[in-house]
Amino acid sequence: MTVAFGRRTVLRGAVGLAALGGLAGIADLARVAVADPAGSHTGLRVGYLPITDAAPLLVAHGAGLYDEATAAHRPVMFRSWSSLAEAFLSRQVDVVHLLMPMAVQLRYALGGAGQVIGWNHTNGSALTVAPDITDLEQLVGTQVAIPAWWSIHNIVLQKMLRARGIRPVVREEPSKFARTVGLIVMSPSDMVPALANGAISGFTVADPFHAVAEARGVGRIHTFLGDVWRDHACCALLVHQDVIDRDPAAVQSLADSMLAAQQVIADDRAAAGRLLSDGRYLPQPAPAVARALDYDPAGFELAHPEWAPQRIGFQGFPYAGYTAAMVAAMHDTIVDGDRRFLDRVAPEDVHLDLVDDRFVRRAIDTAGGPSVLGLPADLSREEQVVLS
């Protein structure tokens, strides 16, 4: 597939592809210092979690796809969704990949003036369980870990449980008699050890933690979430509103670079895995990262193999129908915390208020249009959620 980008992005992309092949010439830039929120720093400050969700942001940096004036700093790693969200709200960073439902919470519950400018990725998440568990029924009476209350992981897991007549609960002892499963929030890096020592019976989160659990023999992938909600967006790209207002050219360059990085990853997932792993950007071992970026469907029981649900996807356009369906699902999701903000949020209104797709639309046009990227011409779709 040939994708046309702007001249500067094409030049950076050529360098990036070479870097993906060898990696020897990639400099380890110094970590960004926390700058004042007034905008005196140079370039956009990027924050990320060490998961494959962040791959486009990280590959764009490692492969030299960012314009130096747009993102001059090395992305800063955070260890939990809460710390990443706090860093965004406190203006330590300008750009983050954030759980899409959490972006809704930040805007409507916490007053964060951020705008989603595109999707970071689709799919890339699963439910991993202890090796002896083969059916959701075996989770009854146990605890399962989620990365955040307002996450697509929690939303889809609760849908899966309820479809089987199992009730998810919080702050309540799970009971086999009452057919309940206890949900607890846990940092992604703590999930594999917790599964190994029996503190939880399963976890749902982004990769490569599922691949790590498999490699260590402490867990098995039960369900890819993309086998339930087709090509769902997990993480969105969130930018401060005042950054958009102050420097729309930088935000456009960011969108162009992200789209280019998504194509670089899709064209050579193995090379992208090598760039990301072994401490360059992700602390997990290279084999786990490589597996997470390109699972072989053989050996998995997939309900919808034609969806390729095991494969993390990289496309940046944020579909309005997904935003509406996700917010509607948030209304039906139990959480441990204040959910009153949802009373003020109509699913059909959120997209126009939260999402600014001008930049990704221009990036798509520059790349040759939707068809060149395998997207529908009208940039719309029908959501497909199938619960067995």
- The CATH number for 50's domain is 3.40.190.10
Q: What is the pLDDT of residue 41?
A: 54
Residue 195 domain boundaries: 125-227
Strand partners, 239: 95, 115
Q: Are the CB atoms for 46 and 66 separated by under 8 Å?
A: no
pTM over 0.85: yes
Write out the two tokens for 64: 């030299």
118 and 129, same domain (yes or no): no
204 and 259, same domain (yes or no): no
On whether residue 138 sits in a domain, the answer given is yes
On whether residue 37 sits in a domain, the answer given is no
Q: What is the pLDDT of residue 30?
A: 24
134 and 152, same domain (yes or no): yes
Task: Give the residue-averaged pLDDT of 199-227.
Answer: 97
Q: What are phi and psi of 181, to 5 degrees?
A: -125, 130
On whether residue 277 sits in a domain, the answer given is yes
54 and 106, same domain (yes or no): yes
pLDDT at 36 over 80: no
On whether residue 108 sits in a domain, the answer given is yes
Choose one of 197, 227, 257: the last residue of a domain: 227
221 and 253, same domain (yes or no): no
30-39, 68-77, 92-101 — which is least confidently predicted?
Answer: 30-39
Choose one of 192, 207, 227: the last residue of a domain: 227
198 and 265, same domain (yes or no): no
Q: Are the CB atoms for 251 and 239 separated by under 8 Å?
A: yes
Q: What is the pLDDT of residue 20?
A: 33
How far is residue 24's CA from residue 325's CA, in Å, rounded to a whole number?
44
Q: What is the pLDDT of residue 384?
A: 97
pLDDT at 42 over 80: no
On whether residue 167 sits in a domain, the answer given is yes
Name the band, by pLDDT with cuts 50, 70 and 90, for residue 110: confident
Q: Which of 116, 152, 295 is nearest to 230 (CA)?
A: 152
Q: What is the pLDDT of residue 37?
A: 42
194 and 244, same domain (yes or no): no
Choose one of 227, 256, 274: the last residue of a domain: 227
Task: Give the residue-averaged pLDDT of 310-314.
Answer: 95
270 and 191, same domain (yes or no): no
162 and 102, same domain (yes or no): no
Q: What is the pLDDT of residue 113?
A: 83
Cα-to-chain-centroid distance, residue 135:
26
Domain count, the chain: 2
Task: Give the residue-averaged pLDDT of 288-309.
Answer: 95
pLDDT at 1 over 80: no
On whether residue 383 sits in a domain, the answer given is no
107 and 241, same domain (yes or no): yes
On whether residue 222 sits in a domain, the answer given is yes
Name the band, by pLDDT with cuts 50, 70 and 90, for residue 125: very high
Q: What is the pLDDT of residue 254?
A: 94
Type of residue numbered 47: G
118 and 136, same domain (yes or no): no
Q: Which of 272, 248, 378 is nearest to 317 (CA)?
A: 378
Better-predicted residue by pLDDT, 12 or 233:
233
On whether residue 136 sits in a domain, the answer given is yes
97 and 50, same domain (yes or no): yes
Q: Are the CB atoms for 185 and 223 separated by under 8 Å?
A: no
Average pLDDT across the chain, whole number: 88
Name the band, by pLDDT with cuts 50, 70 and 90, for residue 34: very low
Task: List the strands of the sheet with 95-99, edge to edge.
Answer: 76-77, 46-48, 95-99, 235-240, 114-119
